[in-house]
Amino acid sequence: MRKAFISPAKYVQGEDELLNLGYFVSTFGKKALLIAHPDDISRVKEKLDQTAAKFSISLIPSNFQGEVSGREVARLKKVAAENECDCVVGLGGGKAIDAAKCVAEGQRLIVVPTIVATDAPTSHCAVLYTEDGLFDRYVYFVQNPSVVLIDTVIIANAPTRFLVSGMGDALSTYFEARAVRNAYANVDAGLACGAQDGSCPPAKGTNAAFALASYCYETLLEDGVKAKEASDNNVVTPALENIIEANSLLSGLGFESGGLAAIHAIHDGLSVLPSARSATHGEKVSFCTICQLVLENAPTEELREVLDFSLSVGLPVCLADIGIEEITEAELTAAATKACAKEEPIEAMPFPITIEQVKAAIVVADRLGAAHKASK
């Protein structure tokens, strides 16, 4: 059996860690293309100036405006070439990081998240969009980022909603890895050769990946509420540090080397509904975790544990919580049809799933979540 595990070459998190960015740039050379939205740069400009001066490196501005289209990636590559940049730094949220991945193409990439709302920063894949901001395709690169650098002070001062959203994304990691493991399905780590044509041999998840996914869930249950309180008060505590690691490293390695299943497929299905578009990725994933548990007919105790945790940190447990006050039969069918599409990871579940079963799971998860919320 072929197994695969992939990860960033280096992961570092700590208070004021951004001040060490210049050191990591200097391991590649003297110039780095800085891909970041102007608002994110302004938030951390003092630290960027300090690290550039301390390590005698230059951060070349890219004027990134927020969309990861083919045209924008080509423009950024041109800026990097014209300035003879030695590496690429992606600083900010998901769009800036994905743009940096596309420019670097798996080489000499430093990722600096300013929020931990998803587990994508550690991964070797990115999402490309059209000029109009519509989803285009996923792209995979030869390897994961060279460095993932997280300044916990910056995360503590970001809106708490992003931290909680990251917990929603991380909540799915164990349950999807468990389903994939039971199904002996393939994982994204098998695409680590960077091939876009399907020529890279598939691979199963490792025991290490499943252990990380399991520990991710345990960490959420233990430290989630305490970390939210720290974020609400803009302070760094051990609990916040643990949740930052869970949201980014544990969940990132867990999903990529442990696998995705029905949760992210149903997320993609619900995302086609306009009313759900105000919810973040992690908020929708949180509700979809309940949907997968319904599909699996998970033990009542486990379902209650997930619902209790979600409510304790403010994650969605029903459709209304993600902006869907009412759902028509046509909308339900559209969401379930998308979730069951061939390209979706629902195929990694350990048993066949039909469109009707997904529709039923969404309805039941909504009712169970709403009832549990009302009882508290």
Tens of pLDDT, residue by residue over 124-164, are 999 998 887 778 888 999 999 999 999 999 999 999 999 99
| Selected catalytic residue, list 281, 321, 366, 372 | 281
169 marked among binding-site residues? yes
95 marked among binding-site residues? yes
The pLDDT score that the predictor gives to residue 301 is 98
* Same structural domain, 257 and 144: no
Q: Per-residue pLDDT tens for 67-125?
A: 999 999 999 999 999 999 999 999 999 999 999 999 999 999 999 999 999 999 999 99
What percent of the chain lies above the pLDDT cut of 90? 91
Nearest of 182, 175, 186 to residue 267 by alpha carbon:
175
86 marked among binding-site residues? no
Name the pLDDT band for 198 (thresholds 50, 70, 90).
low
Q: Using DSSP, state whether 127 is helix, strand or coil.
A: strand
264 marked among binding-site residues? yes
| Chain mean pLDDT for the chain | 96
User: Alpha-carbon distance 273 to 278, whole Å?
Assistant: 10
* Same structural domain, 354 and 257: yes
The pLDDT score that the predictor gives to residue 135 is 80
264 noted as active-site residue: yes
Given 125, 156, 187, the domain boundary residue is 156
CATH number of residue 152's parent domain:
3.40.50.1970
What percent of the chain lies above the pLDDT cut of 70? 98
Name the pLDDT band for 193 (thresholds 50, 70, 90).
low
Q: Per-residue pLDDT tens for 20-66?
A: 999 999 999 999 999 999 999 999 999 999 999 999 999 999 999 88
119 marked among binding-site residues? yes
Any domain includes 4? no
- Check pLDDT > 60 for residue 194: no
The pLDDT score that the predictor gives to residue 65 is 83
Q: First vs last Cα of the chain: how many Å apart?
A: 47
* Same structural domain, 98 and 177: no
| Selected catalytic residue, list 169, 268, 321, 366 | 169
151 noted as active-site residue: no
* Same structural domain, 90 and 233: no
Q: If you average pLDDT over residues 159-188, what whole number do you get? A: 97
281 noted as active-site residue: yes
* Same structural domain, 342 and 231: yes
Any domain includes 115? yes
Q: If you average pLDDT over residues 291-306, what whole number do you get? A: 98
Given 96, 129, 156, the domain boundary residue is 156
Given 141, 156, 171, the domain boundary residue is 156
- Check pLDDT > 60 for residue 229: yes
The pLDDT score that the predictor gives to residue 197 is 60
Q: If you average pLDDT over residues 280-307, what whole number do you get? A: 98
pTM for the full model? 0.96
The pLDDT score that the predictor gives to residue 133 is 75
Number of domains into which the chain is organized:
2
Any domain includes 199? yes
Instruction: Decide: 66 and 90 in contact? Cβ < 8 Å.
Output: no
Neighbours of 272 (CB within 10 A): 14
Tokens of 18: 């951004």
- Domain residues for 326? 160-375
Write down the H helix ranges in 204-314. 207-232, 238-245, 251-258, 262-270, 281-296, 300-313
| Selected catalytic residue, list 124, 151, 223, 264 | 264
169 noted as active-site residue: yes
